[in-house]
Amino acid sequence: MKPFLLAAFLFLLGTDAFAQQTGKDTTSEKEGIAVAEFGGAASGNLKGGAKSFGYSIAVEATPIENWLEVELGFSPTYSKYTTDKEIDFLIKKPWTLSPKAEFMFGVGLAWDHMKDSGITSNTLGGEIALDFMFWPAAKHRLGWFLEPAYEYGFSNGHEQSLGMSAGLLVSIP
């Protein structure tokens, strides 16, 4: 729980110190109302659980330009005896590293619906994610992303997992 609280505290203190300052805001010219993410996902339980693989879909919007992004995502992953369907809601602080690269640090909540060897459980947890976005063209219509994440379950077992998703970014006009 302490790493999650520390990350949330650092997130709230974040500034644009590492952001590239251009003097002119061209982000609104480049991006649509939201960005959709489609990709593959992998997850591993840090307490001896199996590795699982699946896909990830998410939509990300920017309520406050250069300061706040929100993301709602769905990631079902599967292993030999386990099915895990996760819905997460992240609040992210964006930094523009260059006209073609962005970085975001996010914290939020994750809800897991897991079926393990016939036993179904629902768990609420906290999540920390690092989101790297790369846009080959200046208009930010299509790109790709890489998003490692750490999740901490609030239930009795306090499950912990590391995950990674990567894939295609599509701007929604």
CATH at residue 64: 2.40.160.20
* 18, part of any domain: no
Domain count, the chain: 1
Residue 24 maps to a domain: no
Q: 70 lies in a domain?
A: yes
Each residue's pLDDT tens digit, 121-158:
999 999 999 999 999 998 889 999 999 999 999 987 88
For the ranges 14-23, 106-115, 131-140, 159-168, the lowest mean pLDDT is seen at 14-23
Closest of 82, 65, 74 to residue 165, by C-alpha: 74
Q: Which domain holds residue 43?
A: 30-166
Per residue in 52-94, pLDDT (tens digit) is 999 999 999 999 999 999 999 999 999 988 899 999 999 999 9
pTM to 2 decimals? 0.80
**Tokens representing 123?**
């768990």
Question: Is residue 61 in a domain?
Answer: yes
- Alpha-carbon separation of residue 48 from 24, 45, 51, 93 (angstroms): 50, 6, 9, 32
Q: How confident is the model at residue 110 (pLDDT cuts 50, 70, 90)?
A: very high
- Note whether residue 114 is domain-resident: yes
* pLDDT for residue 15: 39
Task: Please check whether residue 15 lies inside any domain of the structure.
Answer: no
Whether 2 is covered by a domain: the verdict is no
Q: Nearest CA to 57 among 145, 117, 156? A: 145
List the end-to-end C-alpha distance of the chain, in Å, as a whole number: 39
Closest residue by Cα to residue 70 from 131, 142, 9: 131
Kindly state whether residue 6 falls inside one of the protein's structural domains.
no
Residue 119: CB atoms within 10 A of its CB come to 8
CA 168 – CA 7 distance, rounded (Å): 27
State the pLDDT at residue 83.
Answer: 92
* pLDDT at residue 30, rounded to an integer: 56
CA angle 130, 165, 17 (to 5 degrees): 15
- Cβ atoms of 40 and 53 within 8 Å: the answer is yes
